[in-house]
Structure 1
């Protein structure tokens, strides 16, 4: 250690003895005159310039945890925090000898929320026009605001799925004419124009805006001209992630989307190339949320506004039904049997000439009533909870408003006058359960109750029943509507025939679930045989003619009797592989005798099936007395429904995400009753759908 110290001293002495003119000793220089400027160029980007005397480098601390270092004194920073935010930026200038000086400046940066996917869907990357999806359930809906009274999520109550709920009455039809156009410029700014043809549909709570006198929602002359700007932002509040995109649209200058509730902010619940679904909040009533569903395809109702310009003119398949007898076996096969086909229908399908035949140049599908009740009929009444001490609580006695029954497996249920008001049961009305011939062994029905069963107080359930035979198994199943895995089942058997008795079902061992559904199976495990109450036919081209894309034209005259439900439709050929609704369903024409001369068409596919299908309706005044042409034009880009050459329902912009891009087969049938057919006329004997021809063009 000492030797090292002496060496340093010696070197220092040598250096000091040299001529000072031969050695350039650098001075310690401090950068001076530091100046910092900033330019906000938009979209969150700020350009910085720094200069100082004697500076060799510049360090930028951007105030958000990020920094940059360079020799030029120039830096660019893009901030990404949404909204208006202020940052303290520190710039340090340094010399090569380590001397530094610093300056700070405060900058305010505005960053608009954006989402390229949403912008692309909304504007189709340029300009796009949207229309009210008046043919779809939920096209205009009402529900409580974001948080329920206990913080629970509340769902909207939908208005009718019918296009004519809002489009067919004078006080609201102006809503269905609106065209909403969104455009985006090169800078990503969104503009919006509402063309409402001079009239606006006003919520009654906002009638003062136009000096309205009506105490209902009404169409008023109201000018909405002018272009509005639209800014996207994140949604704040108690919104479940799976119920929203997390994005809302904010319109300038009081812009709105067709229905006037005073709001200019719309939360996007769902958006795609073809559908836009939004929610907004009423400025006069903060507890109300309004729901709008839009489509990118214009819906034309009425049948007289636009003619179909087909792209398909080459006839590739047809049946002209010009040979009498059974339908051509090269073109058609049959669905046979009963069981309701998933819709609670009452008919049994056959291939008998009484139900399906070609004669006089037309195909005739005839639904017939046998004149007698088919299958097995049971009656029941006074569904009652019973406590161990004898205390009772009535669940349903069928004397007031009838419950809403849901039938399955070939069973039909109704409330009727008591057919045997004697013995144990002299009440006026009872439940009737008809298990049709050929029904599934598990066929039954259920009704829901508003107050869950109190099984802490009551340990059993009694039901008065009337059976045509002894030894019939009656199964009671209680369920939780919200969780199908929570249920309890117990059986009892009838001990008398053609008389009322009381069956008791032990519920003492039922798990402690929230039971608010009562399901009953009469003749459980048995499929009744014998003549069905109603017979009909369903023919199909499955495995004989299947096709992708084309124009299908069917000329038909329809039955009119109450309860008839004729249909001309197509089903995905991969039905046996993927099931329904994944396979897709195209309903070219449906009609019900309980609403004669109103024609509907529909599309069923995942997310839009059953009661949520895309549906369009139109009036055809002579549908039951004359032949009309029912057509679907199915292309890779769209599906359009047509009656007599006139477009009545432009329902879908087709794309790769739908199941409508592979083979389908044709089906024609007449069902009886069920979820759409409704009540069957008690005097029904028979009625026929006549089909003149079926033609497919590609």
Structure 2
């Protein structure tokens, strides 16, 4: 076989490209590489391209630096050239995104956006390769104590001006806090004055992106000034952006137009039957958080008050990440408990669980060990991670270990509440890291 050799390394003066205005619109330029190799383009307006012949749109009068990177058999070489756009083309600025973002050419004062604080997931984080903030989403008003919810971001079409009024404080991801003059660590609120005379630009393509000048940002600071528009309407804006300090993280933020009130459709209130005996098909669906639930487990002690063949095995997993494990039933309506508010459930609490070892717990928690108890909670899921703040909880201790007992949970004190749409059951207590297994059967709302 022939022994392959690399070509000589090219130099910038050996590569060239042509620039030709579009005959029908001089704000669109056609670029053509006249050199051999794979052509990669940076158009100087925030957009990029690939190929021997490409085009780019420049609606704004300005001078732009276009860079061609050529991949050849001899290596990689780049060449830059300045192009000048003499006049702004207003027709190119009347696209739907420009109008929805700024209010359009007839709204000279621009449009002001604020954080959509009352919506679940107004902040979130997920993998860069994903499409949703699957790792974490902020519940409504989750960051009320931070310098975020009073921020106002105004986009103007005139002069492409961007004005950020943060009322003196901004909220930053800790790893990126040095960009605001802070130190790395947990997320932090810092005294910060945004730069004056900032501008914005819109990069349209497969991904529509907002780019802010002078290191400007929107809402929660993650070290970036580029925001991909996931969706936009006249009233709502949903963006994704990267984390400069942790490139594997993608952050998500939701904004709404200042003054916009999201329409709220209240859930209907219903009185329904609730039961699951794990032998037949019950009328509930169990959702799990950091536990395991086998809904068809052979009864380990078919004697006494419970001789049914099948029961549910509830496995509480150890470790700090599982300290708030539970199973819950989620409804699309609110629960009417005015006439029926007593739940009953049969449980078997094994004697062989370790109820004495302190396997780790939150420092503030009075509970350091696995508890011989079952808790039933009624919650309003619309509060997201803050649902516990308005919940009603009934806890029953179990003293008869190794045998089936029936527990009663009376929510008569909350019978007039009409905001509950979730029922939570939790064995063993919470805020500690101890594992354990439990059994349950015949869960029901009394007629």
TM-score tier (shorter): 0.3 to 0.5
Length-normalised TM-score, structure 1: 0.32
Structure index of larger Rg: 1
